[in-house]
Amino acid sequence: MATDNPYLAHLNPKKGGKSSASPTPGNNPLYGFLPRRVTGEQARKALESDVNPFTMQPHTPQYKKILEARKKLPVYSQMDEFFKIFSENQIIVMVGETGSGKTTQIPQFVCYSDLPHTKGKMVACTQPRRVAAMSVAKRVADEMDVQLGKQVGYSIRFEDMTEPGTTFLKYMTDGMLLREAMNDPELTRYSTIILDEAHERTLATDILMGLLKTLAKRRTDLKLIVMSATLDALKFQKYFSLKHGEVAPLFKVPGRTHPVEVFYTQEPEPDYVEAAIRTVLMIHRAEEPGDILLFLTGEEEIEDACRKIKIEADDLMNQDPDSVGPLVCIPLYSSLPPQQQQRIFDPPPPPRTPDGPPGRKVVISTNIAETSLTIDGIVYVVDPGFSKQKVYNPRIRVESLLVSPISKASAQQRAGRAGRTRPGKCFRLYTERDFMKELEEQTHPEILRSNLANTVLELVKLGIKDLVRFDYVDAPAPETLMRALELLNFLAALDDDGNLTALGGIMAEFPLDPQLAKMLIVSPEFKCSNEILTIVAMLSVPNVWVRPPSQRKEADAAKQMLTVPDGDHLTLLNVYNQYVANGQDKNWCWQSYLSARALQQADNVRAQLQRNMEKFDIDLVSIQDSNKLYTAIRMALVCGFFMQVAHKEGEKGNYLTVKDNQVVALHPSCGLDNQPEWVIFHEFVLTTRPYIRTVTEVRPEWLLEFAPQYFDLSTFPDGETKRALQRVLNKKQGKAAGRVDGTNSDKRMTKKQKR
Amino acid sequence: MAEDEDDYLSDKFLADLNAASSSEPKTYSARRKEAEKKAKLKQEQNRIKSRRQLELESREAGLSKSLFERAKEEEATVGKGNKALAMMMKMGFKPGQSLGQVHDEPAPEAASVTPERAVSSTPEVEVKESSAEPSRDGTPFESMTRGLGSGIKHRTEPLPLNEWAGKKGIGSLKRGPSPSSLERMAKMAKTTEAVDQDTFRSRAREDYLERRAEGRLAPAQATCVSLDEKAGKAFNVLWLNPNNPDAFPEELMNALPEEPVVAKTRRRQEQETIEARLRKQMKADALQPLSPEDDSPSKVAERDQAQLTPEQLEEAVKFLSQSAQQRLAAVLSYLRSEYSYCFWCGCQYNDAEDLQQNCPGENEEDHD
């Protein structure tokens, strides 16, 4: 056990207080600390010390300043309780409002009690978002007066900012911890694991909860803290009950909240965006000073609302400068560059004249402002009741990206945002009756809404044999698991008994979707691994195309210049190559309507993946002849994405997805200049209509050649697709039988197809 | 090769011609071309519509069949089972079941544990229970936590997909406004829309029907008034007759948007001229006292109490903005449902059942 750790003997006055192992025991602020027996009082004393207990360097003046600010956090005042509950329990569920300081303080408290650095262990704190992991780690490094990447670090996909042996507090995305578990199922390097923002119920957090619940039974020395911002703690408490009938203990930190008055509309709104704009202007006109937070659903909608509100508000102010002050609109969504995201912390604009009416700030945000970000000064919340939700359906393998009603829990969370600084108001743009009747209690956790192919591969690699009886917090639909297993089997990552194959093992090592990993691994056979690597990297970053609403034409023209008519995958390759050829120049990106940030990221991802490939001796090769190269690339694409093929039917650009027979259209962003008969697609999404996105032309012979199992015609439902494939097959066999006659019949065949 | 070039009869040339001389009087052929073009466009639109239909149908077909059913069918026709399903069965899965652990803990017992008690059941934990639970608004937290606390039940089916609903607010798809007057209003709204988009012929017919309905409305309303008064009702929106606004309660007059509602029906009768419309506009624009409250606040308040509720007012406005046929239909259906009275039979039945059995039907034609 930890208390018997010989490294700590010198810290224990009873056992060896006079030992000379520690040169200056009196100077060490952690002197006398017993791991996991530390009290709040001891910790406070250490915090007040002039010496940094982790670096043994004197504290900088900055440290004291930050410490004073930390003392004001609600969590800080409950330090004693926390140390007690942490000492006495293996698993703790913690509830604290956003802004209570739990994400920054609790992991530090844990370090003071767990003393991971003394036993070569680490404390991990998971975050659902990359940005949060990075920014919180930076903040905590400052608070602990250490350099980021040394004692305190972070680890996110494609970026590791830690120093092995030095880092003992690691912020990481939940997905990263899951990946680490793949190669170290016991998670031996951690002494305490903190799952933060558990209420968000991301896929990775859900899976981690299942894994850690079982792991905690095996590893009794592992402590686990599940932190959540909402009141649904009971579910976690029950889930993590160690003894039958006894729930996991709860540590609760009340947030600094003020009452929020909630208003509903009398009637349903015919247009929620328009209603939201009207409400914001109404508040601006008639309500006391205080900033407004408006929840909308996506980038485009937010930018649009920003523009409209700005125009209307300026109008109002010009009409009535004595009573209406200036209004500034600040958009907030995840694809916004970090500097611009920082704008939400700007103070509201000053009055136009010294005695004029005060200015006001409106933050128009997606639901990132719901729980994970704290914006001070918000007094009014406008909640139309919607958010964009991703829902995967295994039956037709579509991902729907639609605006859907939020849950009651979300609505409560949104309302709570208004009471951060003083009593506030929340305007719900729906009726109270609809709030009660139409909204679900809780948002569906991501595991119910996601394609699980990646997760299943990770779990199998982790050694989880029984995916049916895995202890899910909320179990996904059985058909989703079935689809995942089917895909992995067709990709030859799993054999027919569900065992991981050698190929599957390598695929799991790549932080990619299995189709992409497969494509990357086989690409050297087609002598185009360099190019496939680029395409995979480009597909792993946010959209590289920039299309500002005021310059759509220019942006489309610039895109046209870079487009390769054979396929969008090839276009992505071309964009990256041009980016490199132009010296990764930001100006060039800007002129070509490309996101320099996304391209920079793609470059980074590419380098990371290249390292992965080197690890498995996957050669980086290319062909010189560009025509042959493009063909080779498209063949390699088929090897990964043969289950995502659509066949053209009829003349009007209708495509039918193979096997599921869904009528789909090419996404408007697609750059194909004609409508080829056979295409592979990267995604099938349902937005305003069913679209296939990122599409490349392929030849049917390749489908039959590289994926004979999937394109086994005996398993095909009757239809145009099957007939078309049958013709190709016949032709192929005819060719093999007698080459003389072949050319003639070929012509006839193609003509027939065209009709 | 020739296929690539434009035929000399191609309408591309004509299109160019048309564009060049659009202001000049059109020849017959140009007009015909134009008509053809329009027809083609319309056809295209129809096709787009049917494509949407295709998308929807294929989606519904795909979503309605579970993968287990599909696997079963496949096995029956091809003789090959689904490998993924076989893997899952090997893990102990049976179609129809959910994934995850079956928690033997009985659900009702779990549900009865409130969060507070759950905490106190581990007494060694001293947590500051925030007695001042930030009850931010009037919504019941209780019901939410209870929902969470109930026994774990995993899904057996995938989440349904939403369809795109544009920018409609929550609830606006599901139901109309206030539930009491809901049905009547919905019926009214539907017919108004239809009326607006009619052709001349149907409009002429509509005018005829409208006049006829107008004629029948008066006796129907009279019946309604007498039956209502017998039942002790002081006011019913259905009594209102836009041709006789003087009979309206005063606050209703104030609530009515001047131009559209009252004048609309009058205009129809007057076959109104431009002058008449101008006069009306001037009247509408003329200065009026802001509200009667400025003059005699106490009196108005008194009357308000005595008579109309805001809901009635709103309903009245809606009622008056309908066509005579719709108003007639509303009055008749009210008479039928409320008093088992059939206007066409001209008599009151004993009850709904009696009406059902002995009245030939809801419409006039049924009584021929």
pLDDT at residue A12, rounded to an integer: 47
pLDDT at residue B283, rounded to an integer: 62
| Residue A85 touches partner B, C-beta closer than 8 Å | yes
A8 versus A349: the higher-pLDDT residue is: A349
| Residue B131 touches partner A, C-beta closer than 8 Å | no
DSSP state of A135: H
β-strand pairing of B347-348 with B341-342: antiparallel
pLDDT at residue A25, rounded to an integer: 56
| Residue B186 touches partner A, C-beta closer than 8 Å | no
Q: Which residues of A touch B149 (CB under 8 A)?
A: 234-235, 238
Going from the C-alpha of A741 to that of each of A728, A732, A733, A734, B87, the distances in angstroms are: 16, 12, 12, 8, 46
Q: DSSP labels for A458-497? A: HHHHHT---SSS---SSPPPHHHHHHHHHHHHHTTSB-TT
Determine the residue of chain B that is closest to A231 in CA distance.
B145
Chain mean pLDDT for chain B = 67
Hey, is A111 helix, strand or coil? helix
A577 versus B213: the higher-pLDDT residue is: A577
Residue type, B196: D
CA A422 to CA A378: how far, in whole Å? 9
Confidence category of residue A663, pLDDT binned at 50, 70, 90? very high
Nearest to A489 among B84, B136, B147 (CB): B84
Helices (H), A510-653: 514-522, 529-539, 552-562, 568-581, 586-591, 596-615, 626-641
Q: How far apart are the first and last CA of chain A?
A: 77
In the predicted model, is pLDDT for residue A555 greater than 90? yes
Phi and psi angles of residue B145, each rounded to the nearest 5 degrees, phi first: -70, -30
pLDDT digits (tens, 9 = 90+) for A313-368: 999 999 988 889 999 999 998 878 778 888 888 899 999 888 889 999 999 999 88
Q: Which residues of B touch A251 (CB under 8 A)?
A: 125, 127
pLDDT digits (tens, 9 = 90+) for A173-227: 999 999 999 989 999 999 999 999 998 899 999 999 999 999 999 999 999 999 9
In the predicted model, is pLDDT for residue B279 greater than 50? yes
Of A288-297, A450-459, B244-253, the poorest mean pLDDT is in: B244-253
Hey, is A615 helix, strand or coil? helix
Of A88-97, A273-282, A399-408, B252-261, the poorest mean pLDDT is in: B252-261
CA B281 to CA A59: how far, in whole Å? 80
Mean pLDDT along residues B276-293: 56
Residue type, B234: A
Q: Are A268 and B141 a contacting pair at CB < 8 A?
A: no
CA A71 to CA A43: how far, in whole Å? 13
β-strand pairing of A663-666 with A327-332: unpaired
Q: How far apart are the first and last CA of chain B?
A: 71
CA A319 to CA A607: how far, in whole Å? 56
Q: What percent of chain A has pLDDT over 70?
A: 93
DSSP state of B363: S
- Of A724, A722, A712, the residue nearest A750 (C-alpha): A724
B7 versus B350: the higher-pLDDT residue is: B350
Q: ∠ at Cα A106 (A102, A109), nearest 5°?
A: 150
Query: What is the least distance, in Å, from the CA of B352 to any CA of chain A?
Result: 32
In the predicted model, is pLDDT for residue A634 greater than 80? yes
Domain A260-447 - what CATH class?
Answer: alpha beta
Q: Which strand (E) or helix (H) includes residue A252?
A: strand A250-253
pLDDT at residue B300, rounded to an integer: 39
- Which are the contacts of A736, defined by CB distance < 8 A and separation ≥ 6? none
Confidence category of residue B317, pLDDT binned at 50, 70, 90? confident
pLDDT at residue A754, rounded to an integer: 40
Contacts 24+ apart (CB under 8 A), B209-218: B209/B325, B210/B268, B210/B323, B210/B324, B210/B325, B211/B324, B213/B323, B213/B324, B213/B325, B213/B327, B213/B328, B214/B243, B214/B324, B216/B328, B216/B343, B217/B241, B217/B324, B217/B327, B217/B328, B217/B331
Q: DSSP labels for A587-610? A: HHHHHTTB-HHHHHHHHHHHHHHH
- Of A426, A415, A428, A417, the residue nearest A385 (C-alpha): A428
pLDDT at residue B278, rounded to an integer: 63
CA A598 to CA A545: how far, in whole Å? 9
pLDDT at residue B282, rounded to an integer: 61
pLDDT digits (tens, 9 = 90+) for B95-142: 888 998 865 444 443 333 334 333 333 333 333 333 333 433 433 333
pLDDT at residue A311, rounded to an integer: 94
Report the DSSP beta bridge partners of residue A173. Answer: A127
Sign of CA dihedral B257, B259, B264, B266: positive
Q: Which residues of B touch A386 (CB under 8 A)?
A: 170
Q: Where are the domains of chain B?
A: 214-335
CA A342 to CA A689: how far, in whole Å? 35
Q: Are B158 and A479 a contacting pair at CB < 8 A?
A: yes
Strand order in the sheet with A424-428: A260-264, A424-428, A378-383, A291-295, A360-365, A327-332
Structure tokens at A452: 């699980």
User: Which CATH architecture group holds A40-253?
Assistant: 3-Layer(aba) Sandwich (3.40)
Burial class (CB in 10 A: 0-12, 13-18, 19+), A456: buried
Query: What is the least distance, in Å, from the CA of A411 to any CA of chain B?
Result: 11
pLDDT at residue A6, rounded to an integer: 47
Structure tokens at A412: 């409560």
In the predicted model, is pLDDT for residue B343 greater than 70? yes
- Of A159, A136, A130, the residue nearest A148 (C-alpha): A136
In the predicted model, is pLDDT for residue B294 greater than 50? no
Q: Are A469 and B85 a contacting pair at CB < 8 A?
A: no
CA B227 to CA B85: how far, in whole Å? 68
Q: Are B134 and A475 a contacting pair at CB < 8 A?
A: no
pLDDT digits (tens, 9 = 90+) for A714-735: 888 888 899 999 999 998 888 7
Residue type, A336: L
Q: Are A395 and B147 a contacting pair at CB < 8 A?
A: no
Chain mean pLDDT for chain A = 89
Length of chain B: 368
pLDDT digits (tens, 9 = 90+) for B22-49: 455 667 777 888 888 888 777 766 666 5
Burial B27-43, CB ≥16 within 10 A → b, else e: eeebeebeeeeeeeeee
CA B296 to CA A554: how far, in whole Å? 64
ipTM above 0.85, yes or no: no
Q: Are B161 and A393 a contacting pair at CB < 8 A?
A: yes
DSSP state of B17: H
Hey, is A210 helix, strand or coil? helix
pLDDT digits (tens, 9 = 90+) for A455-497: 999 999 999 989 999 999 999 999 999 999 999 999 999 999 9
pLDDT at residue A312, rounded to an integer: 93
Q: Which residues of A touch B95 (CB under 8 A)?
A: 478
Query: What is the least distance, in Å, from the CA of A441 to any CA of chain B?
Result: 6
Q: Where are the domains of chain A?
A: 40-253, 260-447, 643-732
User: Do the beta carbons of residue A23 and residue A30 sit within 8 Å?
Assistant: no
| Residue A374 touches partner B, C-beta closer than 8 Å | no
Determine the residue of chain A that is closest to B68 in CA distance.
A479
Q: Which residues of B touch A434 (CB under 8 A)?
A: 170-171, 174
- Of A46, A3, A401, the residue nearest A191 (C-alpha): A3
pLDDT digits (tens, 9 = 90+) for A22-39: 445 567 888 888 889 999
Of A54-63, A72-81, A671-680, B183-192, the poorest mean pLDDT is in: B183-192
Query: What is the least distance, in Å, from the CA of B138 to any CA of chain A?
Result: 8
CA B45 to CA B56: how far, in whole Å? 17
User: Do the beta carbons of residue A222 and residue A192 sit within 8 Å?
Assistant: yes
In the predicted model, is pLDDT for residue A310 greater than 80? yes
Sign of CA dihedral A671, A673, A674, A677: negative
Q: Which of B66, B126, B127, B152 to mutate to test the interface with A (most CBs of A within 10 A)?
A: B127
| Residue B101 touches partner A, C-beta closer than 8 Å | yes
Q: What percent of chain A has pLDDT over 90?
A: 71
pLDDT at residue B256, rounded to an integer: 62
Q: Are B87 and A494 a contacting pair at CB < 8 A?
A: yes
CA A291 to CA A417: how far, in whole Å? 11
User: Do the beta carbons of residue B98 and residue A220 sit within 8 Å?
Assistant: no
A58 versus B9: the higher-pLDDT residue is: A58
CA B163 to CA A87: how far, in whole Å? 51
| Residue A81 touches partner B, C-beta closer than 8 Å | yes
| Residue B116 touches partner A, C-beta closer than 8 Å | no
Going from the C-alpha of B77 to that of each of A396, A479, A716, A718, B230, the distances in angstroms are: 21, 21, 10, 11, 71
Mean pLDDT along residues B183-205: 61
Mean pLDDT along residues A552-579: 95
CA A457 to CA A513: how far, in whole Å? 9
| Residue B25 touches partner A, C-beta closer than 8 Å | no
